[in-house]
Structure 1
């Protein structure tokens, strides 16, 4: 088991994490009872020490975060870690190297887990017994902290080993490029129609029913963010869809909707009725994505074949070169603003894919 130092005064280790080329970083968080993930532990590894930093402490952490965000991180599957740090500290690190991304560019399975990578690189079996733990508990049990420390114990050695292999294959720049794409702020914004596109069941609505579903979904998203509560706690999907379908115009009509508790109806009924009423004038506000037609399906197959051939030549999974969802998005939108047309992908396969469009 790795040795670690539990830190409840984050600013106290600022000097200890300063001056290193890279820091290994992982986080533990919960989001079952909140809209935004709640950061509960930050694990930081240097070549000399592992720190388990408690961000729930009342002690100052400004200097800690300033140093952390100015550092270069080695992270595995970084997206959720970056998201929770952005929500907590208001910014992202200046640079990351994602070992999951790096492994994929060496021909390891796409989306390879950290434990699997450690096993492949170092023949070490890692315990994964606390992945669903309650990280808000204080004090944290010793078993939790050992698990957390182990999650960063091999990050720096893994990053070094992968970088060495990538350099030999002339792919190190690819890994750096793809890792840095995870620092795009747009990835972490809830914008446009995402609120309604998450709502299954509204796609078949038409006219005002669909417009009402759009408005209600956006209202719920805004309310969930404002109150920092899960969107289902604000209003369940099934009830939201029933309200949109029935288009109530009065409190009595709203009260007749099955599944809407009377207390909840009293608390948010006016907002629901207001959103339904406002929807009468914007029937065409949202058009759901259309399913691909036959020509688009054929084009997708052609593009996938090109990607598969390129990936095979490189010894990579096709998903690593260009996932199906990205190709589908390019076809549906007609946009050329996709990573498949830029960077190393653009050099290797961008022109061939562009020629098919």
Structure 2
């Protein structure tokens, strides 16, 4: 078994970059975070493999910057599995590719039933990868050798997987559309930060009173402040369920809060003064949050039939058309066209309902050229059929 070493000094980093320069071909890259353990989403280990160079395991906190590596390899193709999960933490340390090949996305576009890395490697290469360390705390130092072996295997077979998938994309006539999808992932704008991140609390929709919501908000903000201070995942301090329990119960004293058995978590008692201060402030504040947040998104589709029968008909017929096209392409519906895009265009269709207008509307929501070519005409036909069905129903009623 190979004994892997973590590159955590400037001298070792410089030597690794020299070896990477001697290799050739695509660069396989992966990153390990400490999600569920740490507050930040930073990379605690970055793995890289290149044919002719070997495997490299970098320690980002110890190294700090990766400028020389970025300068060397940014123009090469980087191979990642589920690239959208790793690009942000790679960019945080200055690693940003010009082009990528996403093996998970390629597997989806090819209609593979299982697209996790282990499943794809097994199907294409006949090699079984153990995934027992996937949820490990990668901020641990020193990292155990079995973890390093696991991390290395995540990239050592990735270029071989890439080559097999590339062959199958060409054979299926999907190489160009895959290139468009890879480019879309690479250049996708990050979602803007929400003004009220506390509303992401699991179960928040069960709270309807502004005062209860104020308690949930105050506790969430207090927990987030402590989580940042300690660099600990917020849920490890006090879980969401505990915050919701307190927000529903509205305890009126520190003692009442302390007596709540369902208010748990490793910091629920050690930081009791902090939590009671948050509850007390929320009970007294006049700055109450709105019970509902305005949204530009369409209403839930189950409400469309009553609120907008023609939009309901448009969505129903267009979904059928898109599902048929996805089956023809041999890929999941969501990879052909996202459900959110279809809903938005069905709810607010363009004035003109021809294929060109539908195509423009879809493009405004981020649909790629291949998706427009595949779906716009059929969606336009579905919209026309929906309008006619409403007219026919009105004629029958009169």
Shorter-chain TM-score above 0.5: yes
Matched, 1:347 2:352: no
Cα separation, partners in 2 of 1:315 and 1:35, compared to 1, 3 Å: same
Partners of 2:165 and 2:97 in 1: CA distance: 21
Q: State TM-score, norm by structure 1.
A: 0.79
d(CA) in 2 for partners of 1:325, 1:259:
37
Q: Is the 8 Å Cα contact of residues 41 and 52 (structure 1) preserved in structure 2?
A: no
Cα drift, residue 46 of structure 1: 0.9
Of 102, 105, 114 in structure 2, the residue corresponding to residue 101 of structure 1 is 105
RMSD: 3.8
Note if contact 2:215-2:279 (Cα within 8 Å) is conserved in structure 1: no
What do the CA deviations read for 1:14-62 (whole angstroms, capped 9, x no partner)? 2333484520112233223212235332221111133232315635643
- For residues 135 and 336 of structure 2, the distance between their equivalents in structure 1, rounded to whole angstroms, comes to 32
Task: Flag structure 2 segments of 5+ consecutive residues without an equivalent.
Answer: 306-310, 350-360, 387-398
Residues 1:349 and 1:106: Cα distance change in structure 2 (over 3 Å): same
C-alpha deviation, 1:74, in angstroms: 0.3
The question of 1:163 aligning with 2:166 is answered yes
Equivalent pair of 2:104/2:116 in contact (CA under 8 Å):
yes
The farther-off stretch of 94-103 and 254-263 is 254-263
1:81 aligns with 2:86: yes
SS of corresponding position for 1:14: helix
CA distance, structure 2, for counterparts of residue 68 and residue 304 of structure 1:
46
Cα distance 1:234–1:262, how it changes in 2: closer, same or farther (>3 A)?
closer
The reply on whether 1:308 has 2:323 as its aligned counterpart is yes
* Partner residue, 1:10: 13
How many residues are treated as equivalent by the alignment?
354
Which residues in structure 2 correspond to 1:218-237 (within 5 Å)? 220-221=223-224, 224-225=227-228, 227-237=230-240
CA distance in 2 between partners of 1:276 and 1:93 (Å): 50
Does the CA-based 8 Å contact 2:35-2:137 persist in structure 1? no
- Inter-CA distance 276–216: structure 2 relative to 1 (3 Å threshold): farther
**CA pair 222-301 structure 1, distance change in 2 beyond 3 A:** farther
Matches within 5 A, 1:64-143: 64=68, 66-67=70-71, 70-71=74-75, 72-87=77-92, 89=93, 92-109=96-113, 112-143=115-146
Q: Corresponding residue for 2:34?
A: 30
Q: Aligned in 2, Cα 1:256/1:133: closer, same or farther, shift over 3 Å? A: closer
Q: Is the 8 A contact 2:25 2:51 kept in 1?
A: no
Shift of 1:102: 1.3
Partner of 2:180: 177
Paired residue secondary structure (1:162): helix
Aligned counterpart for 1:318 among listed residues 333, 336, 339: 333
Cα separation, partners in 2 of 1:52 and 1:311, compared to 1, 3 Å: same
Distance across 1 between alignment mates of 2:130 and 2:253: 56
Between 51-60 and 306-315, the greater mean CA deviation after superposition = 51-60
Matched, 1:267 2:274: yes
- The structure with the larger Rg is 2
Match of 1:41 in 2: 45
Q: Aligned partners of 1:63 and 1:90: how far apart in 2?
A: 6
Distance 1:31 1:258 in 2: 27
Q: Work out whether residues 77 and 100 of structure 1, in 8 Å CA contact, stay in contact via their aligned partners in 2.
A: yes
